[in-house]
Amino acid sequence: MEDETLVKGLRERNEQALSSLILVYGGLIKSIVRRHLGSFEAYQDECVNDILFALWNNISQYDETKNSFKNWIGAVSKYKCIDYKRKYYRRMCEEPIDERIPSDSGADKELLAREISEETESLLACLSAEDKALFWDYYVEQTDMKALAERHKMKPAVIYNRLSRGRKRMKTGCFKE
């Protein structure tokens, strides 16, 4: 099935198109998930399902003039994997120490923190140092806009514009999966 037909079927909510998507691009999705969540096997199947659900629900956002369907699927998959890493990391930080598996938890937490850091650096690679700091503070540290504006000595409208431009720059220039 060609990508155009596949996209059209997904936009029409044709379940057969979803089955075809799994047949054609399932291997790509699984390989991206294995690459990014390799050490967290328990989350891989759930992540694949969430990726398929996101593709199904957000097919209207796909623009064939900006990117190929395969690259769009890759980008959605990568973002979902990063979300899963963050979710797993938060759970590890919030979970009481006595409920963790004693032999592996410290190593897993360190490995996950390093993987998240590497992923974040690769995501922000095409931004200026100042924009990287804004992205880090806003999206990773989840600093509220008022505190962010005070810290960077900018108006909130300027920060929103820089974040918007940075997201566009990242979408067009940084991701070649």
Condensed to tens digits (0 to 9), the pLDDT of residues 21-80 reads 999 999 999 999 998 887 777 788 899 999 999 999 999 888 888 888 999 999 899 989
Domain that holds residue 153: 128-177
Number of domains in the chain: 2
pLDDT higher at 104 or 152: 152
Q: Does residue 83 sit in the same domain as residue 12?
A: yes
pLDDT band at residue 124 using 50, 70 and 90 as cut-offs: confident
Q: Does residue 22 sit in the same domain as residue 70?
A: yes
Q: Does residue 19 sit in the same domain as residue 67?
A: yes
CA distance 89 to 101: 15
- Residue 7: HSE in the Cβ half-sphere, 13 Å Cα cutoff: 16
Lowest mean pLDDT among 81-85, 118-122, 163-167: 118-122
Q: Give pTM, 2 decimals.
A: 0.54
Residue pair 169/161 in contact by the 8 Å Cβ criterion: no
Closest CA to 43 of 106, 88, 102, 7: 88
User: Which of the residue ranges 1-5, 13-17, 129-133, 137-141 has the most confident prediction, judged by mean pLDDT?
Assistant: 13-17
